[in-house]
Structure 1
Amino acid sequence: MRQALIVWGGWEGHEPEQGARAVKALLEEEGFGVRVETTTAAFADPALAELSLIVPIYTMSKLSKDEERNLTKAVEGGVGLGGYHGGMGDAFRESTDYQFMCGGQWVAHPGNIIDYRVNVTRRDDPIMSGIDDFSYRSEQYYMHVDPANEVLATTTFSGDHAPWIDGVVMPVVWKRRHGQGKVFYSSLGHAAAEFEVPQMRTIIRRGLAWAAR
């Protein structure tokens, strides 16, 4: 049985505990054994290297150097990393090695909770198979992203809330490699209730399963 670790905490506005429960249920449906921890100390455990998948749900906060080093080393060695929204894409702002591994970092969500479109760019990818472009209501993440990412879906900013970004096309879902490990990320999921959106739930479920070794 593949083993996954979820580590949740940080800023409570992203409902990390509820999100961890939703992700745990998805992974168990996929046949994973799932362990849940609530402190970043879990990232310093040498046993990380034996896992199939790590899911951080930990907006902002800080990693110690030992935690950062052990986590990135585990992924470089082949452990999968996957996550969503600020729990992975706005975690550990001072840890540039962590950001290098994730492939992006949140910087803004103009307008806060708004309606926007998600455009599927890789319909041939198994993670996105059968999913058409869809409307979404949440924070539309503006991110600094790695051009090495394999982008699976994007969103286009209207400029209504920041005129200077009118027409900017921003990645929403991507996958990538970091060493021997596979990394998956989706910027959807500000609130745990968004797991009830079929497209969001399917993308997260498939993406995490893909990332796991």
Structure 2
Amino acid sequence: MRSALIVYGGWEGHDPEECATIYRRWLHEDGFSVRTATETSAFADPAIAELSLIIPIFTMSKIAKEEVENLTKAVENGVGLAGHHGGMSDAFRESVDYQFMVGGQWVAHPGNIIDYTVEVSKPDDPIMAGIKPSFPYTSEQYYMHVDPSNEVLATTTFSGEHAWWIEGVKMPVVWKRHHGKGRVFHMTLGHRAKEFENSNMATIMRRGMNWAARDE
């Protein structure tokens, strides 16, 4: 049986507990054994090296050196990593080792909660199969610093309405990558837990999570 660890906490504005509950339900339905933790010390446990998947939901906050070293080592050796929005890509701002593993870091969301469009880049990828070529979305439109080695599955284009100098910039919204032997999946959608009610968002995230998980 595949096994997963959800570590949640940090800034409460991203509904970490509610999101962890959604992930836990999905993972159980998809045949995982699941445990949760609310402290970053869970990342320092040597036992995480045996997991199939780790999901961080820990916006901002800090991570100790021994915690990030053990986490990145586990992923390099094959444990999957998956997550969404600031719970994964705005976590542990001071840790470049963590950001290197994730493949991106949040830096801005001009206009805050706005209407924008998500455009599918790779419709033939199994994670994106059946998703409309583009779909409307209402949330924070994340402006990211991203790794050029990411395999980008969906993007969004900034209108310039809220920051004129970025008009026309196409920004990754969904990507997958490898960090050593581990598969890493990230989606920038999902400012609040209610957004998981969006079928496009939920489908992409659930498939990505399963893609990232190490095989039994």
Report the TM-score, using the length of structure 2 for normalisation: 0.98
Moved over 6 A (4+): none
Matched, 1:170 2:171: yes
Q: Distance in 2 between matches of 1:48 and 1:33?
A: 13
Find out whether 1:43 has 2:43 as its counterpart.
Answer: yes
Which residue of structure 1 lines up, in the alignment, with residue 67 of structure 2?
A: 67
Is 1:119–2:113 an aligned residue pair? no
**Matches for 1:1-213 after TM superposition, within 5 Å:** 1-132=1-132, 133-213=134-214
Question: Which letter maps to 2:212?
Answer: A
Two-structure CA RMSD over aligned residues (Å): 0.4
| Code of the aligned partner of 2:99 | Q
SS of the residue 1:207 aligns to: helix
Deviations 1:114-134 (A, max 9, x none): 000000000000000000111
Distance 1:203 1:121 in 2: 13
> CA shift at 1:87, angstroms?
0.2
Mind listing any 5+ residue stretches in structure 1 that lack a counterpart?
none
Structure 2 residue runs of 5 or longer lacking an equivalent are none
Tell me how far apart the structure 1 counterparts of residues 106 and 202 of structure 2 sit (CA, whole Å). Answer: 21
CA distance in 1, matches of 2:174, 2:82: 11
Alpha-carbon distance in 1 for matches of 2:28, 2:143: 31
> Offset of 1:30 from its aligned partner?
1.1
Letter in 2 for 1:187: T
In the TM superposition, what is the alpha-carbon distance from 1:167 to its structure 2 partner? Answer: 0.3
Q: Secondary structure at the match of 2:9?
A: strand
Residue 26 of structure 1: how far off its partner (Å): 1.3
Shift of 1:27: 1.2
Q: Percent same amino acid among aligned pairs?
A: 71
Normalised to the residue count of structure 1, the TM-score between the two structures is: 0.99
